[in-house]
Amino acid sequence: MRSVLLFILLFSVLFSSEIRLTEKQANFIAKKVWQNEGAGKDKYLIWWNKGEDFASLGIGHFIWFSKGHIERFREVFPMVVEYMQKNGAKLPAWLTPKTDLPWNSKTAFFAAKKAKTKQYMELFNFLRSTFPLQASFMANRLSQALPQMLETIDDPKKQDVIKRRFYEVMHNADGSVNEQGLYVLLDYTNFKGEGTLKSERYKGQGWGLLQVLWNMDDKKSDKCKAFAESAKRMLSRRIKNSPPARGEERWRKGWNVRLDTYWK
């Protein structure tokens, strides 16, 4: 009974306000996520992936759409800009949370990148100088993820399972924050989303944080490893369900390498 009360207390404290990273944690998260997304290389800080109709920016390769573009995936970069703005970051004069991606095609984007246009370089320098703040944005997003997930679940028993597994990944047995577990949850939420958008599903099946937590194996004592193994299953299911024209099989190896950093 005492352990249950401790869990409830810690859980309520954790989610009564946003998750705030220490400077050490922010740098740790930023380095790990940036290595996953861009191999730590500046050339990938602003990028346009093959087979995608949008650009990816920053340490988390936050998605940004050009004007009028509609996509099944959540557009995150405007959320990043809004967070930066509220937290005192100096943005390029032309950039606001409502600004569309300046380049309407991959060709136009790479031309600007090659030419190092003023607008491109202002954006690059802004992103290069705000790594810790980008990590803090991810922590803020994670603090909202659990309430969002629970809102989509009608079954109280399933809600309890999601809450417990979320807590077990993020915390040590004594209730202290597990830095590796924090990285796992932050990275995956940024990587594949909360799993709450119906548009982010193939054949009705999602692959986000919600689905990974629900499909974890409770018998595994290493919760980060259990999370990674569940994530591999969910992404394998995504690949199987994906439209053949997207060619998502080509991403499997890279995705699995990333997930292995969760426990190895």
What average pLDDT does range 79-108 have in this prediction? Answer: 96
Same domain, 47 and 13: no
Number of domains into which the chain is organized: 2
- Per-residue pLDDT reduced to its tens digit, 81-90: 999 999 999 9
Question: How distant, in Å, are the alpha carbons of 64, 110, 121, 142 from that of 258?
Answer: 22, 26, 29, 19
What average pLDDT does range 57-83 have in this prediction? Answer: 93
- Per-residue pLDDT reduced to its tens digit, 22-47: 898 899 999 999 999 999 999 999 99
Same domain, 55 and 11: no
Residue 35 maps to a domain: no
Same domain, 180 and 231: yes
Rounded to whole angstroms, the Cα distance separating 70 from 118 reads 27
Same domain, 122 and 198: no
pTM of the model: 0.81
Which pLDDT score, from 0 to 100, does residue 3 have? 43
- From 131, 159, 186, give the residue that closes a domain: 131
Residue 36 maps to a domain: no
Same domain, 140 and 256: yes
- From 131, 147, 170, give the residue that closes a domain: 131
Rounded to whole angstroms, the Cα distance separating 245 from 226 reads 31
Residue 30 maps to a domain: no
Question: How distant, in Å, are the alpha carbons of 19, 98, 108, 219, 262 from that of 214?
Answer: 22, 35, 42, 13, 17
How far out from the chain centre does Cα 209 lie?
9
Rounded to whole angstroms, the Cα distance separating 186 from 143 reads 9
Same domain, 17 and 52: no
Same domain, 148 and 18: yes
> Which residue has tokens 């924050």?
177
- Rg, the chain, Cα only: 19
The half-sphere exposure of 263 on its side-chain side, counting CA atoms within 13 A, is 17
pLDDT category, 1, cuts 50, 70, 90? Answer: very low
What average pLDDT does range 37-62 have in this prediction? Answer: 93
Same domain, 88 and 168: no
Domain span at 170:
2-23+132-260
Residue 18 maps to a domain: yes
Which pLDDT score, from 0 to 100, does residue 4 have? 40
Rounded to whole angstroms, the Cα distance separating 31 from 38 reads 10
